[in-house]
Amino acid sequence: MTTVLWTLFAFLCGALPFSVWIGKWGAQRNIRSVGDGNPGATNVFKAGGVKWGAMAYALDISKGAFPVGLAHFIFGVDGWALVPIALAPPIGHAWSPFLNFQGGKALAASFGTWIGLTLIEVPSLMMVSTITFFITLAVDGWSVMLTLGIVALHLLLNHNDPVLLTILGLQTLVIAWKHRDDLSQRLRLRPWLRTRLNLSN
């Protein structure tokens, strides 16, 4: 019962559409009419600039970090009970009941859950990998998938913990589904890098 309650709490935290609310009240825009229509922090940046976008990112990350970190580090929830709790915020973000079960791509909420699970270890790796791949690859979905692959390799080599690997695997399924349009495209380099490589050849 404790696990069920934590999972429900984590789901509700993840479902809170902070980016939509900040876009509406702060940036005075409906972010679902901006860019790709995704109700996430990236479109808050596009609609309202750095201040509102940074706030949206921080809140979207916190709704993954807060419930998982509270359960894990403060209340001592451990082992397989962490799997549904850590999966709940990304699912809540991706299919929010506050948005008629529509939602974002679950990246920030997933990132936050790893703060709640490992503090800075995995999030720092995810941040460096994501920035590197976003700079060099033209399809964002593939940048995300490769980042998750790097995290999986790190967990295998340094922890080999079936609980953490299961959480990552299930989160990867959610994120892959939300990026399915991107993943239907071939992986390709950004134009600046293709040009640089052609010049070097």
Residue carrying structure tokens 């699912």: 91
Q: Give the tokens for residue 110.
A: 């997933």
Q: Is 5 helix (H, G, I), strand (E, B) or coil?
A: helix
**Burial (0-12, 13-18, 19+ Cβ within 10 Å), 118:** middle
Residues 108-131: pLDDT tens digits? 999 999 999 999 999 999 999 999
Secondary-structure breakdown of the chain: helix, strand, coil percentages, each rounded to the nearest 5: 75, 0, 20
Q: Which phi and psi angles does 96 have, rounded to 5°?
A: -80, 130
What percentage of the chain has pLDDT greater than the value 90?
A: 79
DSSP string, 16-61: --HHHHHHHHTS-S-GGGSTT---SHHHHHHHH-HHHHHHHHHHHH
Residues 1-11: pLDDT tens digits? 699 999 999 99
Q: Is the pLDDT of residue 81 over 90?
A: yes
**pLDDT band at 72; cut points 50, 70, 90:** very high
**pLDDT band at 199; cut points 50, 70, 90:** low
Q: Is the pLDDT of residue 148 over 60?
A: yes
Would you say the pTM of this structure is higher than 0.85? yes
DSSP string, 153-171: HHHHHHT--HHHHHHHHHH
**Average pLDDT of span 11-18:** 97
**pLDDT band at 200; cut points 50, 70, 90:** low
What value does the mean pLDDT of the chain take? 93
pLDDT of residue 176: 97
pLDDT of residue 19: 92
pLDDT of residue 80: 97
Residues 24-49: pLDDT tens digits? 898 788 888 877 778 888 888 888 88
